[in-house]
Structure 1
Amino acid sequence: MRFQLTDDQRALRDGVRQLLARRFGPETLRAALDAPGLDRAVWRQLGEAGFFVLRLPETDGGVGLGLPEAVLAFEEAGRALLTGPLVATHLAAGTVAGAATGEAVVAVVDGGQVEWLAEADVVLGEVAGATPLRSVDPLTPLHRVPERAEPDSVAVLLTASEQLGTAARVCELAVQHARTREQFGRPIGAFQAVQHTCADMLVRAETARAAVYAAAVTADPVDIAAARLLADEAALRGARDCLQVHGGMGFTWESEVHLHLKRTWVRVRRGGGVTDSEELLAGDLVAGAG
C-alpha cells in the first residue's frame, strides 16, 4: 500500500498552509497573546474555505473529501497554532446550524474538560458544575467538568493530526535555530549533541506521520489509538527538545517555541490521550492473544 500524497492532497495541504499564513500569521498570533479570545473573522473565513465541511458530502453542502484530507488540514492547523475548538466544530458541521460556515462556534466535553466554553455558541455534552481552570496555554481557555465523556475516534485522530503539525513545526524551528545560532565561533548545529537531538525529533515526527496517515486510511480505532500515542510523544518530546536547542530564548514571548509546548500539554489531556489509547491497545492485544 502506498501512502504518497496525491497532487490534489498536496494542493489542499498547501492551500490550507497559505490561508493560515495570511489569516493567522506571526503578527496575529502575537496579537492573540495580548488580547486572548476567539477571532470570529478568522473562524468565518475558515468556514468559507470549507475547513469545517471537508468530510461532508457535496449533496449536503460539503466538500466531499475523506478523513485523510481532514488529517492534512488539521496537521496544518497544529503547525500554525491556530486557536479555537477546531475539532469540535468540524465534527458538528453536519448537525449544528452555523458550524459548517463558521458562524457558530461549537465546544464539546472531552476528557473531563471543555475548551472555549465561554466563547462557544453551542456546547455538546454535560457541563453542569463546570469550573474554570488556569490553562497552561494562554491561547486555550479551559473548564473542568465532573463527568468524563467517551472520546470520538475521529476526534482522537484529528487531535493526533494537530500534534503531528506541532511535531513537524518544532523540528523545523530547531533546525533553523541550530543553523544560525553561533557558539565558540561555529553554528550550534555543527555540534554532534545538537545534531542528534534534531535527528531524533525528525525520526519521531516522521514515525508519527506514517501512523497518523495510515490510521486516516483504515479508520480503525486501534490504529487511531497507536497514532495518537506516537503523535503525542512526537509533539511533547519534540517541543521540549526544541526548547532545549533554543536555550533561554525559547521561553521568551518573542518565540513561538514555548507556545507549542503549552498547546501540546493541553491537547494531551483531551479524550483519547495516553490512558485511553493505551487501554484500547491493551484490550486489543489481550483479545488477540485469547
Structure 2
Amino acid sequence: MDFDFSDDQVALRDAVQKWVEKGYGFERRRTIVEAGGFDRAVYTELAELGLAGLYVDEAHGGLGMGPVEAMVVMEELGRGIVLEPLAQTLIASGVIGAYGADDVKAAWLPRIASGEALVVLALQERGARYRLDRVAATASQAGGAWTVSGEKHLVAAADRADAFLVPAVANGQPALFLVEASAKGVTTTGHLTQDGSRAGNLSMDKAPAVLVCADGQAALEHAVDIGIAATCAEGVGAMEQTLALTVDYMNTRKQFGVAIATFQALRHRVADMKMQLELARSMSYYASLKLNAPAAERRAAMARAKVQLGNAMRFIGQQSVQLHGGIGVTDEYIGSHYFKKLTQLEMSFGDTLHHLGEVSSRMQDTAGVFA
C-alpha cells in the first residue's frame, strides 16, 4: 500500500504549514486566548486558504477533497495548536453534504465553504456522557415547520457560531436538525476551555429548525467519526511539536555541566515518546482511510484509533512535562499549552476508557490470536 502523499496533498500541507509558522505565532495565539479564545479574522484566513471548503463539493464552492486531505490539514493546525474549530466545519460540511436535502445543501454549503457561516455540532447533554443514543432535546412539527427545544453543553464556539447541528428526538427517534443562532428562542453563552479555545452552552425554546436527516443516529455517528479522525490528526501534529520542543530543551538544559540529552535514562524516555508518536500516526492514517467505510467498520476503526491516540497523547504530554521540569507547566512557556491541548483532545469525542469499551463491545467471537 502506498502511503506517499500526492503532489496536491503536499502542496496543501505546505500552504497550511507556512500560514501556521508566519501567521499564527505563540503571541498571536496568546492574544486570542485573552480576547476569548476565538478570532473570526483567523477563521476567515483559514477559509481563504480553502480549508473551510475541504469537504464541500466544487459545485457548492468547495475543494471537493477527502479525509486524507483533511488529515494533512489538521496535523499542521495541531502543530500550531490553532484555536479556531476547523474540525467542526469538517463535521458540518461532511454531514450536510452526505445527508442534507438539496435545498439545505444549496443554502448552507456555499456559506460554509466561503467562511461566511460557522456551523458547529451541538451534541453534549447533561448525563449523556459520551453516549450518542441519549438525547433529551425534542423536536416537534406543526404546519410543515419544525421547532427544537432543549439544552446542549460544551458546544464549540457556541456564542460565536452562526448555526448548530442539533440532534433531537422527533416522532420517537433521534433526528438531526440545523438551528440558526439568530433564530427566535435560541440563547447561547460562552466560556474559555482548558486549552484556551472557546465553548459554551446552547439553549433552545421552540427554536425554528431545518430537518437535515430523519435518521439522526446514523448521521450523528458519522459526524462524531469525522470529529474523531480530525482529532486524531490534530493530536499527531501537537505531539510531534511537543516532542520537538522537548528534544530542543534537553539539548540546551544543562546539569553537572553537560546537556541533559546526554543522560541515558532520559534518552530512553524520549525514545518511548517517539515510539508512541509513530504508533499514533499510523492509527491516525488508519482512521482517515476508514472514514468512508461502511458504518460498522468505520465505527470500530474510530474507536481503535482513539484508544491508541488517547494513550499516546497522555503519555507524550506527561513525559514532556516531566522532562522539562517546572517550566513545563508555566503559562509563559509554549510547552504547557501543548500539554493542555493534548489533555483536552484525549477527552474529545469520547475519552480513552470510553473507546476501549467501544472496541470491546465490537469484538467478534472470532477475535484474538486464535481467529
Report the TM-score when normalising by structure 1. Answer: 0.88
Aligned to 1:155: 227
CA offset digits 1:180-211 (Å, max 9, x no partner): 11111111111112211211111111111111
Q: Is the 8 A contact 1:133 1:144 kept in 2?
A: no
From 224, 229, 234, the equivalent of 2:307 is: 229
Which has more helix, going by share of residues?
1
What is the alpha-carbon distance in structure 2 between the residues aligned to residue 132 and residue 28 of structure 1?
Answer: 21
The structure-2 alpha-carbon separation of the partners of 1:126 and 1:59, relative to structure 1 and needing over 3 Å to count, comes to closer
What is the alpha-carbon distance in structure 2 between the residues aligned to residue 198 and residue 212 of structure 1?
Answer: 21
Aligned to 1:105: 118
What is the DSSP-based 3-state SS (H/G/I as helix, E as strand, rest coil) of the residue aligned with 2:120? strand
CA offset digits 1:133-190 (Å, max 9, x no partner): 7732233434499xxx756211111111111111111111111111111111111111
What is the alpha-carbon distance in structure 1 between the residues aligned to residue 35 and residue 244 of structure 2?
Answer: 27
Mean CA deviation greater in 200-209 or 100-109? 100-109
> How far apart are 1:247 and its partner, in Å?
1.0
Shift >4 Å, 4+ stretches? 126-134, 142-145, 287-290
What is the DSSP-based 3-state SS (H/G/I as helix, E as strand, rest coil) of the residue aligned with 2:82? coil
Q: Is the 8 A contact 1:239 1:257 kept in 2?
A: no
Larger radius of gyration: 2
Aligned to 1:184: 256
What is the alpha-carbon distance in structure 2 between the residues aligned to residue 144 and residue 247 of structure 1?
Answer: 40
Identity %, equivalent residues = 30
What is the alpha-carbon distance in structure 2 between the residues aligned to residue 77 and residue 161 of structure 1?
Answer: 9
Q: How does 1:232-243 map to 2 (within 5 A)?
A: 232-243=310-321
Segments of 5+ residues of structure 2 without an aligned counterpart are 98-104, 126-153, 169-185, 204-219, 292-297
From 198, 202, 210, the equivalent of 2:274 is: 202
What is the DSSP-based 3-state SS (H/G/I as helix, E as strand, rest coil) of the residue aligned with 1:117? coil
The structure-2 alpha-carbon separation of the partners of 1:161 and 1:55, relative to structure 1 and needing over 3 Å to count, comes to same
What is the DSSP-based 3-state SS (H/G/I as helix, E as strand, rest coil) of the residue aligned with 2:63? coil
> How far apart are 1:244 and its partner, in Å?
1.3
Report the TM-score when normalising by structure 2. Answer: 0.70
CA-based RMSD: 2.7
The one-letter amino acid of 2:251's match is R
The structure-2 alpha-carbon separation of the partners of 1:261 and 1:144, relative to structure 1 and needing over 3 Å to count, comes to farther
The one-letter amino acid of 1:155's match is G
Q: How does 1:108-123 map to 2 (within 5 A)?
A: 108-112=121-125, 113-123=154-164
Segments of 5+ residues of structure 1 without an aligned counterpart are none
What is the DSSP-based 3-state SS (H/G/I as helix, E as strand, rest coil) of the residue aligned with 1:160? helix
The structure-2 alpha-carbon separation of the partners of 1:250 and 1:237, relative to structure 1 and needing over 3 Å to count, comes to same
Q: How does 1:126-275 map to 2 (within 5 A)?
A: 135-143=193-201, 152-219=224-291, 220-275=298-353
CA offset digits 1:69-95 (Å, max 9, x no partner): 101101111111111222112222354
The structure-2 alpha-carbon separation of the partners of 1:138 and 1:54, relative to structure 1 and needing over 3 Å to count, comes to closer
The one-letter amino acid of 2:305's match is A
Mean CA deviation greater in 200-209 or 253-262? 253-262
Q: How does 1:17-166 map to 2 (within 5 A)?
A: 17-93=17-93, 94=97, 95=105, 96=108, 98-112=111-125, 113-125=154-166, 135-143=193-201, 152-166=224-238
Residue 12 in structure 1 maps to residue 12 in structure 2? yes
Q: Is the 8 A contact 1:111 1:271 kept in 2?
A: no
Q: Is the 8 A contact 1:137 1:266 kept in 2?
A: yes
What is the DSSP-based 3-state SS (H/G/I as helix, E as strand, rest coil) of the residue aligned with 1:114? strand
Q: What is the count of residue pairs matched by the alignment? A: 288
What is the alpha-carbon distance in structure 2 between the residues aligned to residue 134 and residue 33 of structure 1?
Answer: 8
What is the alpha-carbon distance in structure 2 between the residues aligned to residue 43 and residue 131 of structure 1?
Answer: 20
Which has more strand, going by share of residues?
2
Aligned to 2:179: none
What is the alpha-carbon distance in structure 1 between the residues aligned to residue 112 and residue 318 of structure 2?
Answer: 35
The structure-2 alpha-carbon separation of the partners of 1:75 and 1:287, relative to structure 1 and needing over 3 Å to count, comes to farther
From 264, 284, 288, the equivalent of 2:362 is: 284
What is the alpha-carbon distance in structure 1 between the residues aligned to residue 192 and residue 307 of structure 2?
Answer: 25
CA offset digits 1:261-281 (Å, max 9, x no partner): 222222223224324422332
CA offset digits 1:34-63 (Å, max 9, x no partner): 323311111111111111211222223221
What is the alpha-carbon distance in structure 1 between the residues aligned to residue 29 and residue 256 of structure 2?
Answer: 34
The structure-2 alpha-carbon separation of the partners of 1:37 and 1:182, relative to structure 1 and needing over 3 Å to count, comes to same
